[in-house]
Structure 1
Amino acid sequence: MTTAPEPGGPGPEPSTAPAPVEPEGPTRSESFVHQVLSSSWLLTLGAILLAVILGAILVIVTDPDVQAAAVYFFARPGDLFAAAWDAASSAYVALFQGAVYDWTASDPARAIRPLTETLTIATPLILAGLSVGLAFRSGLFNIGGQGQVILGGIVAAWLGFQFQLPAVLHVLLAVLGAALGGALWAGIAGVLKARTGAHEVIVTIMLNNIAGYLVLWIVTTTLFASGTPGVSKAVHDTARLPALLPAPFRLHWGFVLAIVLAVGVWWLMERSTLGFRLRAVGANARAARTAGISVARMTIVAMAIAGALAGLAGASQVLGTEGMLTASVAGSIGFDAITVALLGRSRPLGTVLAGLLFGALSAGGRLMQTRTGTPLDLVLVLQSFIVLFIAAPPLVRTILRLPDPEKKPSRKRPARGDAPAEQAGAVA
Structure 2
Amino acid sequence: MSGTTPGTNDAARPGEQLPRATGPLMAHDTPPPPRANVFVKELLRGSAVTTILAIVLAMVVGGILIAVTDENVQEAAGYFFSRPADTFVAIWNAVYGGYEALFRGAVFNPRGADFAAQIRPFTNTLGFAAPLIAAGLGVALAFRVGLFNIGARGQMLMGAIFAAFFTFNLDLPMWLHLPTTMLAGIIGGALWGGLVGLIKATTGAHEVILTIMLNYVAYYFLLWMIRTPGLLQREGTNQPISAPTPETAQFPDLLGPAFPALDWGFVIVVLVTLLVWWIIERSSLGMRLRAVGENPHAARAAGISVKRMYIYAMLFAGGLAGLAAMNQIQGSVTTGFSGTIDAGIGFDAITVALLGRSRAWGTFAAGILFGALKAGSFSMQAQGIPVDIVLVVQSLIVLFIAAPPLLRTIFFLPKSDAEKAAKARAKAAKKAVSA
Give TM-score scaled by structure 1 length. 0.90
CA–CA separation in structure 2 for the residues paired with 1:117 and 1:205: 31
Please name the residue that 2:337 is paired with.
325
CA–CA separation in structure 1 for the residues paired with 2:224 and 2:52: 43
Structure 1 position 243 matched with structure 2 position 253: yes
CA–CA separation in structure 2 for the residues paired with 1:4 and 1:398: 69
SS, match of residue 358 in structure 1: helix
Q: How far did residue 63 of structure 1 move?
A: 1.2
Structure having greater relative contact order (Cα 8 Å, sep ≥ 6)? 1
Q: How far did residue 46 of structure 1 move?
A: 0.4
Which amino acid is 1:362 matched to? K
CA contact (8 A) 1:39 1:405 kept: no
> In the alignment, which of 221, 224, 232 is matched to residue 232 of structure 2?
224
CA contact (8 A) 2:299 2:306 kept: yes
Structure 1 position 178 matched with structure 2 position 196: no
CA contact (8 A) 1:154 1:325 kept: no
Which amino acid is 1:224 matched to? L
Relative to structure 1, the CA distance from residue 17 to residue 279 in structure 2 (aligned partners, 3 Å threshold; closer, same or farther) is closer
Q: How far did residue 325 of structure 1 move?
A: 2.8
> In the alignment, which of 163, 171, 191 is matched to residue 156 of structure 1?
163
% identical equivalent positions: 51
> In the alignment, which of 245, 250, 253 is matched to residue 264 of structure 2?
253
Which stretches in structure 2 are left out of the alignment for 5+ residues?
12-17, 421-435
Relative to structure 1, the CA distance from residue 20 to residue 259 in structure 2 (aligned partners, 3 Å threshold; closer, same or farther) is same
Of 233-242 and 352-361, the range deviating more from structure 2: 233-242
Relative to structure 1, the CA distance from residue 408 to residue 214 in structure 2 (aligned partners, 3 Å threshold; closer, same or farther) is closer
Structure 1 position 115 matched with structure 2 position 122: yes
> In the alignment, which of 195, 198, 216 is matched to residue 191 of structure 1?
198
Relative to structure 1, the CA distance from residue 17 to residue 233 in structure 2 (aligned partners, 3 Å threshold; closer, same or farther) is closer
Q: How far did residue 408 of structure 1 move?
A: 11
Residue pairs, 1:10-409, within 5 angstroms: 19-22=25-28, 23-222=30-229, 223-226=231-234, 227-228=236-237, 229-248=239-258, 249-323=260-334, 324-370=336-382, 372-406=383-417
CA contact (8 A) 1:159 1:173 kept: no
Q: Quote the RMSD (CA, aligned, Å).
A: 2.3
Please name the residue that 1:423 is paired with.
none
SS, match of residue 242 in structure 2: strand
CA–CA separation in structure 2 for the residues paired with 1:159 and 1:358: 32
CA–CA separation in structure 1 for the residues paired with 2:351 and 2:295: 24
How far does the alpha carbon of each residue in 1:347-386 deviate from its partner, in whole angstroms, 9 at most, with x for none? 111101110111111111011111x200010111101111
Of 306-315 and 221-230, the range deviating more from structure 2: 221-230
CA–CA separation in structure 2 for the residues paired with 1:17 and 1:317: 70
CA–CA separation in structure 1 for the residues paired with 2:296 and 2:312: 15
How far does the alpha carbon of each residue in 1:310-348 deviate from its partner, in whole angstroms, 9 at most, with x for none? 011001111111123322110100000000000000011
CA contact (8 A) 1:5 1:11 kept: no
Relative to structure 1, the CA distance from residue 132 to residue 94 in structure 2 (aligned partners, 3 Å threshold; closer, same or farther) is same
CA–CA separation in structure 2 for the residues paired with 1:7 and 1:191: 90
